[in-house]
Chain A
Amino acid sequence: MRDLLSYLLTRAGWMLLTLWAVYTVSFVLMRSVPGNPFSSERSCPPAIERQLKARYNLDAPPIEQYFDYLVGIVTRGDLGWSIRLEDYSVNQVLAEGFPVSASLAIFALVFAITLGVSAGVISAVYRGTKADFAMMTAAVMGIAIPNFVLASVAILLFVFGLHWFPAGGWGTLRQVTLPALCLGAPVAAYIARLTRAGMLEVLTRDHVRTAFAKGLPKRTVILRHVLPGALLPVVSYLGPATASVLTGSLVLEKIFGLPGMGSHFIFAATQRDYTLAMGMVLTYTVLLFVMNTLVDVSYAIIDPRVKLK
């Protein structure tokens, strides 16, 4: 318990340090864009420009801006105002987009893990059969086809062709399903391959032979003695998997027109909305850190030989 606590504290410390580094780099980049963020637009009346500058604190010397902004983030969690979306603060945009993206990502991950692990286990147990071959071919396809292609084809087929799913919108399960499936597919494919490889690896270990020698039924051996060990690489992959789901959601949200963080991020990036983009990067960093910490903790729970540090 003490170990866990000190581990979590260390991780939190590292996270703060990383966030600070990301913030600093972003800030420097932001400030080194020639002119100010509004320079590319039509010249506006001086009064409005003054107002804008006051709002974004652009009159202060850079160092002061750096600290003011940082203090705002740390004390109030205030990420400032969006540059392009008038009258929206970054926090507001995040608050709107986060639930959408989070539920999409969770659905996608759950789907990917369920499908990937089952397919991997079946493949490994029935190694060399047609089912194995079919599933592993599907898995390679899932890895090799970009998910925007998959999503576009899926829309064409399931929305316009078969009318199984609604064309857009957000909120109901039916509306979440298709984007979540498309988002989870490559991750599921990867997990299936990892699981299969892990199973085959563990199946050759001595302790599995021991388990068989004990007279345990095959099912028990597979589920109790092989699967946990085989899942260790899958658990490690969940960190990168989260990253990949977050990345994929940029594309998926664009294609399905979902009002999530991803589409806002793309907007921010293409419209050069630096405050928004930075706020997003900071949020994603927190998410990924939390996920990686969870992954490490669960790894240590599954494998008693691993010590958290």
Chain B
Amino acid sequence: MSLPQPQSDVLLGVEDLRVSFRTDDGLVQAVRGVSFDLRRGETLGIVGESGSGKSVTNLALMGLIPKPPGVIEGGHAWYEGDDLLAMSDSRLQKIRGRKISMIFQDPMTALNPLMTVEQQLIEMTRLHLSLNKTDARRRAIEMLELVGISGAEKRLRDYPHQFSGGMRQRVMIAMALSCEPDVLIADEPTTALDVTIQAQILELLRDIQQRRGTSIIMITHDLGVVAGVCDRVMVMYAGRVVENSDVEGLFALPEHPYTIGLLNSLPRSDETRADETRADESNATRLNAIPGQPPDMTDVPSGCSFRARCDFAIDRCERDDPVLVQIGESRQSACWMDVKAGKPRVSEVAS
């Protein structure tokens, strides 16, 4: 699959990214040819279970894959006409945090426990925006207020352990946004938080995006989060993109058997929440975990990596690895079967 020349509204174009890790047990192919576009101002959700390669994809964009053991085997990540993957370290440093910044899953460990919040906030703006100490400090206060931390001036002197989990994630967000980046990569930003706090953080992210027009990549395994904040969704399985769709379409008519499985394994999705009674009676049928395990990534079998767990698998799935094909206006799926029609798909070429 080849992408057309990046259109004007495409901010970040990832092509055929491949990442592996050398371990004692062999070469783990964590990401096996992932491509996607991120448009200006949109929120792209990346969904998949642990080990599906969603975090590794984004760490690779940021140049944060530890090497060794990690190896970028191939691919491009076009940003402002440059390939992030081919860039020198010093140039990448100027983009990290300045143009593309990232927040992480566990706010408990993502902040340096030995430095005050102030030190951690100002070192970024001082570096990237060349602010002096006073300005950087003022900026830090501003950012903390933006993310809704009260008494910001006083709290600057505090250490991370003096904040609650939700507050820490707010500090992380303040930090990530302090240089007004174009792209914010949020790697499971709410997974480690309580449900009420989760909602607050998501609300905050949505609010900030509306105000600033930042593009967000939201990595999550929680389809509820996707439904809540994302414009588009990319479903990953075993290091590949299996489905790429707008949010409404995905929830209404999931294409790929894995996506269908994911939706079925939800206790209730946002649509059913409104309809309590239906959710109650359908719980028994809806709560279906996908049977089986993801494949061993050191030795990915040929053919479709999902076929062992797939209800719709056909002979072809064993031979050929399905490619991502265009199946609708804004939808792509990587499956040999047209599940809805219940028959094999005729080869179509993705545009």
Query: Do A and B touch (CB < 8 Å)?
Result: yes
Distance A225 CA – B90 CA, assembled complex (angstroms): 18
Interface band, chain A? 20 to 34
Residues in B with CB closer than 8 Å to A209 are 64, 104, 110
* Minimal beta-carbon separation of B330 from chain A (angstroms): 30
Residue on B with the closest CB to A217? Answer: B93
* Minimal beta-carbon separation of A269 from chain B (angstroms): 44
Inter-chain contact A228/B93, CB cutoff 8 Å: no
Residues in B with CB closer than 8 Å to A128 are 68
Distance A211 CA – B114 CA, assembled complex (angstroms): 13
Inter-chain contact A229/B114, CB cutoff 8 Å: yes
Interface residue A215 (Cβ < 8 Å from any Cβ of B): yes
* Minimal beta-carbon separation of B120 from chain A (angstroms): 8
Interface residue B75 (Cβ < 8 Å from any Cβ of A): no
Residue on A with the closest CB to B68? Answer: A128
Inter-chain contact A212/B96, CB cutoff 8 Å: yes
Residues in B with CB closer than 8 Å to A225 are 112, 115
Inter-chain contact B114/A215, CB cutoff 8 Å: no
**Stretch in B18-26, B122-130, B292-300 touching the partner:** B122-130
Distance A213 CA – B185 CA, assembled complex (angstroms): 10
A304-B159, A305-B161 given; A215·B124 CB < 8 A: yes
Interface residue A50 (Cβ < 8 Å from any Cβ of B): no
Interface residue B95 (Cβ < 8 Å from any Cβ of A): yes
Interface band, chain B? 20 to 34
Distance A120 CA – B274 CA, assembled complex (angstroms): 60
Inter-chain contact A211/B112, CB cutoff 8 Å: yes
* Minimal beta-carbon separation of A252 from chain B (angstroms): 36
Residue on A with the closest CB to B162? Answer: A304
Q: 8 Å CB contacts to B: which residues of A195-215? A: 205-207, 209-215
Distance A218 CA – B97 CA, assembled complex (angstroms): 14
A206-B110, A224-B123, A305-B161 given; A214·B97 CB < 8 A: yes
Inter-chain contact B101/A207, CB cutoff 8 Å: no
Residue on A with the closest CB to B178? Answer: A214
Residues in A with CB closer than 8 Å to B90 are 217
A206-B104, A225-B112, A228-B114 given; A214·B175 CB < 8 A: yes
A215-B94, A215-B95 given; A210·B113 CB < 8 A: no
Interface residue A17 (Cβ < 8 Å from any Cβ of B): no
Interface residue B102 (Cβ < 8 Å from any Cβ of A): yes
Interface residue B50 (Cβ < 8 Å from any Cβ of A): no
Q: 8 Å CB contacts to A: which residues of B65-111? A: 68, 89-90, 93-98, 101-102, 104, 106, 109-111
Residues in A with CB closer than 8 Å to B159 are 304-305
Residues in B with CB closer than 8 Å to A210 are 102, 104, 110-112, 172, 175
Inter-chain contact A207/B112, CB cutoff 8 Å: yes
Residue on B with the closest CB to A225? Answer: B112
Inter-chain contact B112/A303, CB cutoff 8 Å: no
Inter-chain contact B113/A207, CB cutoff 8 Å: yes
Inter-chain contact B128/A215, CB cutoff 8 Å: yes
Residues in A with CB closer than 8 Å to B110 are 206-207, 209-210
Interface residue B44 (Cβ < 8 Å from any Cβ of A): no
Residues in A with CB closer than 8 Å to B128 are 215
Residue in A216, A218, A302 whose CB lies within 8 Å of B114: A302
Residue in A212, A216, A302 whose CB lies within 8 Å of B127: A216
Interface residue B143 (Cβ < 8 Å from any Cβ of A): no
Inter-chain contact A207/B97, CB cutoff 8 Å: no
Inter-chain contact A215/B161, CB cutoff 8 Å: no
A-B contact pairs, 29 of them (CB 8 A): A207-B109, A207-B111, A209-B104, A210-B104, A210-B111, A212-B62, A212-B64, A213-B64, A213-B96, A213-B101, A213-B102, A214-B96, A214-B101, A214-B123, A214-B127, A214-B175, A215-B94, A215-B96, A215-B97, A215-B98, A218-B89, A220-B123, A220-B127, A229-B112, A302-B114, A303-B113, A303-B114, A304-B114, A304-B159
List chain B positions with a Cβ less than 8 A from chain A. Answer: 62, 64, 68, 89-90, 93-98, 101-102, 104, 106, 109-115, 123-124, 127-128, 159, 161, 172, 175
The 10 closest A-B pairs by CB, nearest first: A215-B97, A215-B96, A206-B109, A214-B97, A207-B112, A213-B102, A304-B159, A206-B110, A215-B93, A210-B110
